[in-house]
């Protein structure tokens, strides 16, 4: 029935939907009150059990869980895989001398440093420093 019609019937008298609504709410309130009273007699384990039982009962009203899961098409799976950015992992490729020989460009050398090398060396004005001391001047390694 339409809500506006229900509203009119409620105002007309006790014998209509208003009476049914009151009965329904009274029954529900009595159920809740009886559950609340019986909760005091239960142990914590029984209370937890009842809580999970009510959760499962509610979930069963929704239908099987497998039917509620979204099913992705192969195109959606491919799109999702492409959208994931690869995580750059800093792995040790070799000592700084080997990296300089291999890549030549200092910016590229620093991209291939391990985490430990990044903490140890710093790049300033095209030169590499270790603890404030120059170790590579842009053309050749400076011996310590």
The answer to whether residues 8 and 57 belong to one domain is yes
Owning domain of residue 46: 3-68
Residue 74 included in any domain:
no
The answer to whether residues 7 and 59 belong to one domain is yes
| C-beta of residue 127 within 8 angstroms of C-beta of residue 134 | yes
Helix (H, G, I), strand (E, B) or coil at 105: coil
The last residue of one of the domains, among 22, 50, 68, is 68
Residue 142 included in any domain:
no
The answer to whether residues 7 and 64 belong to one domain is yes
The tens digit of pLDDT for each residue in 104-133 reads: 888 888 888 888 888 899 988 888 899 888
For 22-50, give the secondary structure using H, E and C.
Answer: HHHHHHHHHHHHHHHHHHCCCCHHHHHHH
The answer to whether residues 58 and 7 belong to one domain is yes
Residue 73 included in any domain:
no
The answer to whether residues 102 and 62 belong to one domain is no
The answer to whether residues 59 and 101 belong to one domain is no
Residue 90 included in any domain:
no
Distance CA 40, CA 44 (A): 10
Q: In total, how many domains does the chain have?
A: 2
Banded pLDDT at 13 (limits 50, 70, 90): low
Residue 60 included in any domain:
yes
> Which residues, 6+ apart, have CB-to-CB distance to 115 below 8 Å?
90
Residue 82 included in any domain:
no
Helix (H, G, I), strand (E, B) or coil at 142: coil
Residue 21 included in any domain:
yes
- On the 0-12 / 13-18 / 19+ scale of CB atoms within 10 A, 127 is middle
Residue 115 included in any domain:
yes
The last residue of one of the domains, among 32, 48, 68, is 68
The tens digit of pLDDT for each residue in 55-89 reads: 888 887 777 776 667 788 889 888 888 888 776 66
The tens digit of pLDDT for each residue in 27-63 reads: 888 877 776 666 677 888 988 898 898 888 888 777 7
């Amino acid at each position: 029935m339409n809500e506006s019609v229900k509203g009119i019937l409620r105002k007309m008298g006790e014998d209509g939907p208003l009476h049914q609504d009151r009965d329904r709410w009274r029954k529900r309130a009595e159920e809740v009150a009886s559950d609340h009273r019986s909760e005091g007699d239960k142990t914590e384990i029984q209370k937890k059990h009842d809580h999970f039982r009510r959760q499962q009962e509610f979930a069963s009203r929704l239908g099987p869980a497998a039917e509620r899961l979204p099913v992705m098409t192969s195109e959606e799976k491919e799109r999702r895989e492409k959208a994931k950015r690869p995580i750059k992992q800093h792995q040790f490729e070799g000592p700084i001398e080997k990296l300089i020989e291999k890549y030549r460009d200092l910016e590229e050398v620093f991209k291939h440093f391990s985490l430990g090398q990044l903490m140890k060396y710093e790049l300033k004005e095209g030169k590499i420093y270790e603890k404030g001391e120059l170790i590579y001047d842009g053309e050749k390694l400076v011996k310590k």
